Amino acid sequence: MKKINFILALFASATMMAQFPCEGGLSFGYPCDGYNLQAYLFLSQMGASEGNDSWGWTDPQDGKEYALMGLDNGTAFIDISDPVNVVYLGKLPTHTSPSSWRDIKVYNNHAFIVSEAGGHGMQVFDLTRLRSVANPPETFTEDAHFAEFGSAHNIIINEATGFAYAVGAGSYNGGPIFINIQDPLNPQAAGGYSGSGYTHDAQVIIYDGPDPDYQGQEIYFGSNEDRVAIVNVTDKNNPQLISTITYGSASYTHQSWLTEDRTHIIIGDEIDELDFGFNTRAIIADVSDLDAPFYDFQYFGNIAAIDHNGYVKDNLYYLANYKGGMRVIDISDIGNSNLSEVGYFDTYSANNNAGFDGVWNVYPFFESGNIVISDISTGFSLVKSTNLGANDLQQEGFSMVPNPAQSMVNIKVPNTAVAQINIHNMLGQLVMNHEGSGQQEISLDVTSLTAGIYLVTVNGNTSKKLVIQ
């Protein structure tokens, strides 16, 4: 597997346009089930040595999608509007020093960035600047800076209210610092909450769940090391603890996320796999009554990897599972205590052991179905479910026979014309280029190629391996 990753690293410098279907449990060397690799950027291509958080932005002007990835030395911005031709637009450097911990959220076309780097505060970056990057990659400057705190572990934003919550800072016992960001370039301190101690991560919503007592109020669900604290933060001057959630074999309550019907919350404990020898564990609590939430059941995966950040979209739970990659879990029957893994994409192929490497975060909220994966030691990946739409299927398929080939190979693309065929060797070097002339089927003479393995890319979209004998 190390050899495969080395080949990938070499290849990545030459082309980033290929889509690699998940076939036979691998997507160009990476273990997969149900998800194709669309594009990849290595840390070295972004001038960084470590990756961390990730988020996304969809430009309301034209619907273009952008990925934001945290790095040890700044924040990377990637144009993914053409998901098989991603463009690294550049980096916003860290405000002070490098750090392994950086977190990013988005509100009103601006990115808000915190870090555990000393004196970092909160950077604000106007994402509309990404529309006109003339010569990527650029080195960007921040558009505003909030210096009411120094380091912070995380930032949470309630887009419905325009309030940010910086957590894990030096004030309020590490609890949330309230920041009014309704005017993104002029953030205003608005108090905080210290009553439940340190918060590592949180989710804040305008409550729309089944409990009638809190309808329409702003509710904070904080993952606070040994419990989840549920706090009413509607009145920033008088936040009120509603209740807490505890569970057995707790080591470090790291992150949690609500189901979309607000009946349950899925809790991730970051250290329990190490402390107790569990396989990947998720704790599920019933929160249909916010005054009296309770532990419901626990889910165990089939690997030993540590769970990190997890998010719910529709009836799927997308989990950043460190060395286990991204795991996708069906939660449609959570009311009957039934969860099941339905897919994965593993950017850390060495092993699935409990350890702090591999996938830090996933961002599954793009309307397109594109999913951003940020990996600590390798970099950025963009994946998508193999359950593709009609347009994707049209681009996805092409046949290539015979394979292995000796002299001629016949390439056929259904429902569209062959515009271009590129063939690269496994060092990433372009060894053959063919321009089509409107036909769906082309017979290509490959007698000039020496025996070996090559990558054939058709129309800049899908790639397949070709063996020359």
Mean pLDDT of 372-379: 97
190 and 317 co-located in one domain? yes
In a domain, 18, yes or no: no
User: Is 261 within a domain?
Assistant: yes
Residues 382, 440 within the same domain: no
Whether residues 317 and 402 fall in one domain: no
CA-CA distances (angstroms) from residue 289 to 145, 263, 265, 374, 462?
Answer: 39, 8, 12, 35, 49
Domain boundary among 387, 418, 436: 387
pLDDT at 6 over 70: no
Both 406 and 370 in a single domain? no
Which of 334, 365, 387 corresponds to the end of one domain? 387
Q: Indicate if 191 and 252 belong to the same structural domain.
A: yes
Q: What is the residue type of 265?
A: I
Our CA angle for 132, 137, 139, nearest 5°, is 90
To the question of pTM greater than 0.85 for the whole model, the response is no
Domain co-membership, 311 together with 419? no
Does 414 lie in the same domain as 345? no
Q: Residue 277: which domain range?
A: 34-387
Q: For residue 127, is pLDDT > 90?
A: yes
Predicted confidence (pLDDT) at residue 11 exceeds the cutoff of 60: no
Does 3 fall in a domain? no
Residues 196 and 120 in one domain: yes
Check whether 15 has a pLDDT greater than 80. no
Same domain as 176, residue 204:
yes
Same domain (yes/no): 299, 413: no
pLDDT level of residue 395 (50, 70, 90 thresholds): very low
| End-to-end CA separation in angstroms for the chain | 24
Q: What is the pLDDT of residue 465?
A: 75
Number of folded domains that form the chain: 2
Q: Which of 331, 353, 387 is the last residue of a domain?
A: 387
* 19 has a pLDDT exceeding 70: yes
CB 282 within 8 A of CB 228: no
CATH of the domain at 416: 2.60.40.1930
- Any domain includes 188: yes
326 plus 460 within the same structural domain: no
In a domain, 23, yes or no: no
Decide: 360 and 54 in contact? Cβ < 8 Å: yes
CATH number, domain with residue 366 = 2.130.10.10
Q: Is 47 exposed, middle or buried (0-12, 13-18, 19+ CB in 10 A)?
A: middle
Residues 313 and 376 in one domain: yes
Residue 25 falls inside a structural domain: no
**CA distance to 170, 327, 420, per residue, from 34 (Å):** 43, 10, 28
Taking only the tens place, the pLDDT of each residue in 449-462 is 998 878 888 887 66
For position 462, what pLDDT does the model report?
Answer: 67
Q: What is the pLDDT of residues 272-281, one digit of tens each?
A: 999 999 999 9
Token pair of 294 as six digits: 């309770």
Q: Is residue 5 part of a domain?
A: no
Instruction: With H, G, I as helix, E, B as strand and everything else as coil, classify residue 45.
Output: helix
Whether 392 maps to a domain, the answer reads no
3-state secondary structure of 275: helix
